[in-house]
Chains A and B, each alone.
Chain A
Amino acid sequence: MLSEIEVRDFRCFAHQRLELHPQMTVLVGRNAQGKTSLLEAACVLLRLQSPRTSVRTDLIRFDSSTLMVEGRWNGVSLRCGMSDSRRRLAIDGTICGKSSDYLERSGLVVWMDHSDMNLLRGTSEHRRRYLDFAASQIEPGYLEALQGYQRALRSRNYILKRDATVQWRQVDAYGQLMAGFHQTLVLHREQLVRALKPKMGEVMSRLSFATEEVGIEYLPACSAEGLMDALTRHRAEEERSRTTYTGAHRDDFALSINGRNAEAFASEGQQRSISIALKIGQARVLDEARSMAPLLLVDDVFGELDPSRRRALLSGLPLGTQSIFTTTHLDWAGELGEGCQIVAVEKGEARAKILKRV
């Protein structure tokens, strides 16, 4: 559980401290007041990455050179400071040199927002990012393999394009390296999708009152062990296209509803339900794999659901899940039971004010 969070020079906030309710905190405010930034700060603190940007300087407040996010997760105090080129991490006041050590001690996160519809309608990149975000929270070595893979891929593609005559020995030096990382990624993605399937099904069943069945199938571009072979077999294609033919960077997964392709056949409402099932399913998989309930961060979408979907969403969460929601209106607040805190957020620098603490 994240009991409090404090930010300095983060997005529009000069300094902000916020105590969080063990069950649910609702951040309410008009648009562009900073409520999403507080949600984002929680994600940065726990996972060292933002779902909204990969550019570090986007996070640093205008006119500042460094940002700081601090907080307490299950009694452990975490601190993350960033400048455009550096990142300083600390656990319980002690500098932590390796981000993997930090992430291991830190909490788990599930993020939901409007872009979740891209999991159905968008390119495969959105679906890979979904798998990567979840898998890197389950498997300690996953993130390292992913970063290694991407780095090797960039170099390999660069060499393929660089010379008039392709220098295959150099290309292969990176291909062999990719093959090792590829294997790690594919095996863990496979495991993840296998674990997700029943969990998503359960959530979908709640959302649709047991009338709809959702399916998910992992579509690896190349078998776990077969990358080097596949690349060697497609030299002619690579010579033409001058780009890496296959690998984990081309993976995808397919979603179905009642046995039919969800992208083509699901209604808008069904697609929304499936995207929720993917995220709540992710929360359940994380909870089971790490024996620790994740922090659910929901930007905007909650207030826009109908009451039955809202109820289904909340009831589908793992026991003990803490959540933070942002919303522009509180029309639905009447549905909230006990165990909730409502915080008003106005103009980034304004102090958050607790409206109600039940």
Chain B
Amino acid sequence: MSLNYPAPIQRLIVQLKSLPGVGPRSAERMALWLLSAGRERGGLLADALRAIETEVVMCEDCGFYNEAGQACLLCSNDKRQRHIVCVVEQAADVLRLERSRAYQGQYHVLGGKLSPLDNVTPEDLRMDSLERRVAELPASEVILALGSDVEGEATANYIADLVRPLGVAVTKLAQGMPAGGGLDHVDELTLHHALQGRRAMS
């Protein structure tokens, strides 16, 4: 039998490797660092991981994160408009849009975008809760702030078909957004203009 690390180290490497953007070699490097120079930091990392499991909850309405036991800072804020919902792919997009200071309505985090070839279907995303919320709020406008790549556009088309029968206007961020990506690489000024110049989806 060929030599390998003891089982606990192997298990750690397997876990690290499963994280997004981490390959087998960097997983191994991280594990070895946690065993030597970063030994005390390992404990802190374990605490932080345990904390997100017990102390963080996802808001069932908007899909953003809150500390357990506290009301959602977005949904329970009376100053925010309730007739307008902005749909984004991920929680990070909420923060980006907030920094642009161009938006005062409700958010809805989908948790991804449709991608049949990667096996992501509407059931894997927060589509049902979007339909429910649009009816309950009730919203008069749904803004789709999704990526301009093929998956983002297809997701936008799908949602437009889904919520239009509820009698809401469906709009999209204005052109000028970079093609082929999410909101990740868009600066706040561009986002501001894109929100203000949003247009109805045909």
A residues whose Cβ falls under 8 Å from a Cβ of B: 144, 148, 151-152, 154-155, 158-159, 162, 169-170, 172-174, 176-177
Contact = CB atoms under 8 A, between A and B. Distances in A.
B154 A173 contact: yes
Interface in B112-135: 114-117, 121-122
Contact of B150 (A152, A159, A162): A152
24 contacts: A144-B179, A148-B150, A152-B150, A152-B154, A154-B117, A155-B115, A155-B117, A155-B150, A155-B154, A159-B116, A169-B161, A169-B162, A170-B158, A173-B114, A173-B154, A173-B155, A173-B157, A173-B158, A173-B161, A174-B154, A174-B157, A176-B157, A177-B150, A177-B154
A289 B154 CA distance: 33
Contacts, number: 39
Given A170-B158, A173-B161, A176-B157, A151 B150 contact: yes
Given A170-B114, A174-B154, 5 more contacts: A148-B150, A151-B150, A162-B116, A170-B116, A172-B157
B153 interface: yes
B163 to A, nearest CB: 12
Contacts of A176: 157
A158 B114 CA distance: 13
Nearest to B152: A177
B147 to A, nearest CB: 13
Interface string B153-182: 111011001100000000000000001000
A169 B121 CA distance: 12
A243 B154 CA distance: 18
Nearest to B159: A173
Contacts of B151: 155
Instruction: Name the 7 nearest CB pairs between A and B, nearest first.
Output: A173-B158, A173-B157, A173-B154, A151-B150, A176-B157, A158-B116, A155-B116
Nearest to A181: B150
Contact of B153 (A159, A169, A170, A177): A177
A144 B158 CA distance: 22
Contacts of A159: 116
A177 B157 CA distance: 8
Contacts of B157: 172-174, 176-177
A9 to B, nearest CB: 23
Contacts of B116: 155, 158-159, 162, 170
B125 to A, nearest CB: 12
Nearest to A163: B121
Contacts of A169: 158, 161-162
A174 B114 CA distance: 10
Contacts of A152: 150, 154
A170 B124 CA distance: 13
A173 B154 CA distance: 5
A114 B161 CA distance: 49
B2 to A, nearest CB: 25
Most chain A CB atoms below 10 A, which of B115, B153, B154, B157? B154
B181 to A, nearest CB: 11
B129 to A, nearest CB: 17
A326 B20 CA distance: 47
Nearest to B154: A173
Nearest to A172: B161
Nearest to B202: A176
A322 B77 CA distance: 68
Contacts of A170: 114, 116, 121-122, 158
A148 B155 CA distance: 14
A213 B121 CA distance: 54
Contacts of A148: 150
B82 to A, nearest CB: 27
Interface string B20-58: 000000000000000000000000000000000000000
Contacts of B154: 152, 155, 173-174, 177
A68 to B, nearest CB: 24
A177 B152 CA distance: 10
